[in-house]
Chain A
Amino acid sequence: MLGAVLLLITGCHEGPPGADEGVQQGILLLGNGAEPRTLDPHLATGTVENHVISALMEGLTNYHLTDETLAEPGVAERWKRNEDATEWTFYLRSDARWSNGDPVTARDFVYGFERMLTPALGAEYAEMLHVVKGAAAFHAGEVDDFSAVGVEAIDDHTLRISLVGPNPQFPLMVNHYSWFPVHRPTIEAHGGLLARGGEWTQVDNFVGNGPFVLAEWKPNQFIRIEKSPTYWDREIVRLNGIVFYPAQDENTELRMFQSGRLHYTYSVPTNEIAHLQRRQSEHLHIDPFMGVYFYRVNVTRPPLDDVRVREALACAIDRRLLAERVTQGNEIAASSYVPDMFPDYESPVQLEYDPERARRLLAEAGYLNGKGIPPIEILFNTMDAHRKVAEAIGAMWRETLNIEVRLLNKEWRVYLDDQTNLNFMVSRSGWIADYPDPMSFLDLYTTDNGNNNTGWSNSDYDRAIDRARRALTAEERLQLLEEAEAILMADLPVIPIYWYTRKYLKDPRLKNWFPKPLDNRPYKYIYLEND
């Protein structure tokens, strides 16, 4: 009788469909890593949020199907620039609509930028818009009138943006969610421009202009979105809906995939990779990801203020061994700071494992055979992976240089504060590009950048970065960035270790999903089909 009862209750099915039904119904089931903190494009800061927001909303340009470095028309069907790429004019399509039927106009973008840059809102990514003329001053509260900022709605379908300097890449930048428009009547009906509470993002209130609309949001359970009936390109959207599961536990997500509840996972538990490579290799994917794992060095703290010591530490790391044996996720041993993912950019300095050179440098710095050097502390936040790397690198330093190494494991927020306050010697760090360009990796280390966190300041470097920002051609820009990276790698306030890879499981029935270095997804092209 218990069996009958069990059968009865397991028979009833509510909730989202399984993977097979999903293929039949055109509903994509995605693991999305964590519960999004917000669906407001101006307050969001993470990839988890972006994965949902980029389905619900659309900017001037869109993600390309395969190439992260190409801008594809979004709300703007075409654009033109002035001669030195300081002024861009976007022509919006006339059939772009919000999900409630209202037309999307240039004024919606102006309103969006104003909201983003309003200091009282406290938008964390507002700095992305500082390339616009007058934006930084308005954002700092120095100027009260938004009309001083270089954005203008010439008419309903023409938007002109003036920049602080030449930027041939600008159309590529504006597919980021910090540049998305928002629907003004909706915002004003739910607390106004400054409201951070997200009332307007609730299911009954949300108005977006993307290929999908918000249908159901059960916090910590799932977010379900449906194909939008008003999206201008709805004819080519083949998915009927997407369900995002915030599966925080990687092992739970793996079980969900293996029991037929997901088409795609957010990640894969590291210790399962070898097993999956043997048993489920048709599902497992490992792609390069545009990010670098590195050790930040506090150059204000002796003995690390001596560049020879820093270089010794850098040369004493066998990155290949680390990537092969310790991290086990097919990570790529870093030969420089900027990942080798940009076809026209070549990092000038190639880091190598050279224990002899390391010992020589340390001796030159006055610590022959490690004598007299204080212990080096490696700070990292609580995570098994970081501990393993720190232990391995600590062992390498001990063996090669005969120095004492201490591991400092701190909780995430304490670790963040320590890094910000330069309360460390060497600190584990990672950086993922905001946009697919070497600049996104290199502009952190200018003297005034809030993410520098090394105490390093080099005016040649600042100059190179500044000139790169103002370069008129792509060649010139990349050339200047290569010069900047050369300075960075000569001084080594950061010691690159490896370049990231992304590991995930993908159902082969998921089509038109190409690996992208930043994992930006053009959902409008993706579809599900039985083989």
Chain B
Amino acid sequence: MFKFILFRLFQSVVVVFAILTLTFFMVRLTPGGPFSAERRMPAYILERINAYYGLDQPLFKQFGNYLGNLLRGDLGPTFTETRTVNEIIAATFPVSAELGLWALLIALILGLPVGILAAAKRNSVIDYGTMSAAMVGICLPTFVMGPILALIFGVWLRWFNVSGWFTAADRVLPALTLGLVYAAYFARITRGGMLEILNQDFIRTAEAKGVSSRNILLKHALKGGLLPMVSFMGPAIAGIISGSFVVETIFQVPGIGRQFVSAAFDRDYFLVQGTVLVYAILITLANLGVDIIQVMLNPRLRFEDSQ
């Protein structure tokens, strides 16, 4: 397993580097520059600004400079703000991470038990009811769910602030908006996974031996039943991370999702590269973690390095 992890880590580094390089060149070759403005500035001023940021040098030289700075931990300046990319990421990443964690927690706490319950009470009212609700949750995008929650709980009931990230209570609505969609997915996938296991012969054997249904569910079926859910966690984490942009805009959360999107829009080159770097590392690590957990859960799978 150790060799496996090492190999995959090395692979991840290569992937991240490839992404970084692609991003670097793509964003600079995109039409429209960071200093295109509605009020045009004189050519000699534009030259000066480009020189200040090193944008007048040949692309490969700029790339070399960027890599050199990267190795020293300096992700560069921004064109649209006074903070550096390092400062922005240091300030915004923890916020998005916190939001994502709460969302994941809500998704797990709501989705898993509901899925297990629906599988246990298959074809009952509980099953149909919960799965229909889950369908609604999956179909409602965050930019519909968010404003609805904000309207009901923020404007009408005044239980929560409609925006902001100041008090502990401010976490609730954004996390719910982001988490409910994934709760719905988790519920359906868990139900499916559990049902598959519950149909197996060894479960029937356990029932015949007189094992309580609770023990059947939680001791015998759960580990296998959760497998599809675990595989889904990789894309789910990726989705929560990238979905944070919409929630951050609706609820005025100072997270990295908004920086990511507005940087691309503003052609803020270094900020785009910085945020892409963060996302690339996150997603490759998340996928790696999910793969490891999958093998640990399923004895029939093996790491690629063992026979």
Contacts and interface: CB of A to CB of B under 8 A. Distances in A.
Nearest to A202: B82
Given A199-B82, A218-B254, A219-B83, A15 B45 contact: no
Interface residues of A, number: 59
Interface string A176-217: 000000000000000000001111011000000000000000
B201 interface: no
A374 interface: no
Contact of A122 (B52, B82, B167, B169): B52
A119 B168 contact: no
Contacts of A126: 45
A252 B251 contact: yes
B113 interface: no
A124 B48 contact: no
Contact of A413 (B32, B41, B162, B170): B32
Interface string B149-177: 01100110011111111111110100000
A197 B45 CA distance: 17
A256 B158 CA distance: 11
A530 interface: no
A252 B168 contact: no
Contact of B36 (A123, A196, A417): A417
A416 B37 contact: yes
A13 interface: yes
Contacts of B84: 197
Contact of A252 (B83, B158, B163): B163
Interface of A: 6, 9-10, 12-16, 35, 37-39, 45, 119-127, 139-141, 196-199, 201-202, 218-221, 245-249, 251-252, 255-256, 258-261, 411-417, 420, 450-451, 453
Given A120-B52, A219-B91, A258-B155, 7 more contacts: A14-B166, A122-B41, A198-B82, A218-B254, A221-B166, A248-B249, A249-B252
Given A15-B164, A197-B77, A218-B254, A119 B44 contact: yes
Q: Which 4 pairs, one residue from A and one from B, show the smallest C-beta to C-beta distance?
A: A413-B32, A15-B166, A198-B82, A450-B40
A117 to B, nearest CB: 11
A122 B162 contact: no
A421 to B, nearest CB: 10
B188 interface: no
Contacts of A139: 42
B31 interface: yes
B167 A261 contact: no
A255 B155 CA distance: 6
B152 to A, nearest CB: 11
Nearest to B48: A122
Interface in B38-80: 38-42, 44-46, 48-49, 52, 77, 80
A13 B158 CA distance: 14
Contacts of B77: 197
B133 to A, nearest CB: 19
B289 to A, nearest CB: 30
Nearest to B159: A10
B164 A221 contact: yes
A39 B81 CA distance: 10
Interface residues of B, number: 53
B17 interface: no
A137 to B, nearest CB: 12
Contacts of A13: 167
Contacts of A125: 39
A124 B39 contact: yes
B106 to A, nearest CB: 13
Nearest to B39: A451
A414 B31 contact: yes
A124 B45 contact: yes
Interface string B188-206: 0000000000000000000
B151 A255 contact: yes
9 contacts: A10-B169, A15-B170, A39-B82, A126-B45, A219-B81, A221-B166, A252-B249, A259-B161, A413-B266
A221 B254 contact: yes
B33 interface: yes
A119 B37 contact: no
Contacts of A10: 159-160, 167, 169
Interface in B7-54: 31-33, 36-42, 44-46, 48-49, 52
A45 to B, nearest CB: 7
Contacts of A450: 40-42
A413 B269 CA distance: 14
B45 A9 contact: no
Contact of B162 (A123, A256, A414, A416): A256
A217 to B, nearest CB: 9
A75 B150 CA distance: 45
B44 to A, nearest CB: 6
B249 A420 contact: no
Contact of A417 (B31, B162, B265): B31
A318 B281 CA distance: 55
A221 B82 contact: no
A483 B46 CA distance: 34
Nearest to A194: B52
